[in-house]
């Protein structure tokens, strides 16, 4: 019953969004002689559309192969619901329609399209990292098998690799390869400064990108990226 209700809501939202989009597009077309959609807005919107398709595709792959999602009963219900071809297609159309509708409404500024780019890029990267760790579990102590908190994983994953479990007080060792991957990913937001130069992205959005990526990585990726063992491992 709940699935049918959500189905009706999403269908109605899709119709409403697409209708508004067509109305706005029609209005813009009729006053095309007075207002022209800047080329920069069109280019950014095309790039964002590509990111929407990429995010959509990676998400579709994730809901099929990420083991921990499949084992979560609440998520599994949403996965079954979203995995229906018509539902995923409608969500894709809503996303694209909202993207272009916003670009048309805020045609006189790049803030909207660049903000969408920042959010979509972060989402795409986090989903890609999730896919690469599709069979991993939440980090545990190799001795007592207690789940570690995000803060504990973050603190214990830095050099030196030898640490003690906060629960059983036994020595644990972070996988050096996982640590190396973590450091590379943490350096990625620092490289976002190049976006300011290459794509003329506003400095505020560059900072938003760095903070958003780091926060998303900390909450959604880190607990599954770092693994610990009871013996020291080589590179």
Domain spans of the chain, in order of start = 1-135, 137-235
181 to each of 145, 157, 191, how far by Cα in Å? 23, 11, 16
> Helix %, strand %, coil % for the chain, to 5?
70, 5, 25
What backbone phi and psi angles, to 5 degrees, belong to 122? -60, -45
Q: How many beta carbons lie within 10 A of that of residue 123, not counting itself?
A: 18
Position 3 scores a pLDDT of 45
pLDDT at 161: 56
User: What tens-digit pLDDT sequence spans the chain (235 residues)?
Assistant: 444 544 555 555 555 555 555 555 555 544 444 446 677 888 888 888 888 988 988 888 888 888 888 888 878 877 777 777 777 788 888 888 888 888 888 877 788 988 998 899 889 888 988 888 888 888 888 889 888 888 888 877 765 556 788 888 888 887 777 666 666 666 666 666 666 566 667 778 888 888 888 888 888 888 888 888 877 765 5
pLDDT at 155: 78
Rounded Cα gap, residues 94 and 96, in angstroms? 6
Query: Residue 218 has what pLDDT?
Result: 84
């Amino acid at each position: 019953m709940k699935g049918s209700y959500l189905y009706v809501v999403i269908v109605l939202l899709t119709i409403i969004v697409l209708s508004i989009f067509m109305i706005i597009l029609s209005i813009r077309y009729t006053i095309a002689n007075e207002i022209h959609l800047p080329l920069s807005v069109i280019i950014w919107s095309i790039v964002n559309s590509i990111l929407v398709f990429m995010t959509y595709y990676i998400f579709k792959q994730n809901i099929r192969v990420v083991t921990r999602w499949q084992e979560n009963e609440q998520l599994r219900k949403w996965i079954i619901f979203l995995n229906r071809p018509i539902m995923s297609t409608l969500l894709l159309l809503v996303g694209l329609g909202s993207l272009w509708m916003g670009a048309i409404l805020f045609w006189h500024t790049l803030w909207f399209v660049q903000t969408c780019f920042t959010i979509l890029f972060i989402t795409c990267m986090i989903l890609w990292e999730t896919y690469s760790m599709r069979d991993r579990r939440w980090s545990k102590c190799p001795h007592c098998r207690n789940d570690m908190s995000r803060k504990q994983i973050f603190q214990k994953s830095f050099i030196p690799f030898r640490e003690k479990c906060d629960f059983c007080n036994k020595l644990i060792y972070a996988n050096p390869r996982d640590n190396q991957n973590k450091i590379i990913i943490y350096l990625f937001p620092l490289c976002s400064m190049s976006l300011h130069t290459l794509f003329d992205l506003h400095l505020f959005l560059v900072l938003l990108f760095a903070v958003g990526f780091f926060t998303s990585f900390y909450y959604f990726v880190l607990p599954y990226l770092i693994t610990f063992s009871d013996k020291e491992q080589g590179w």
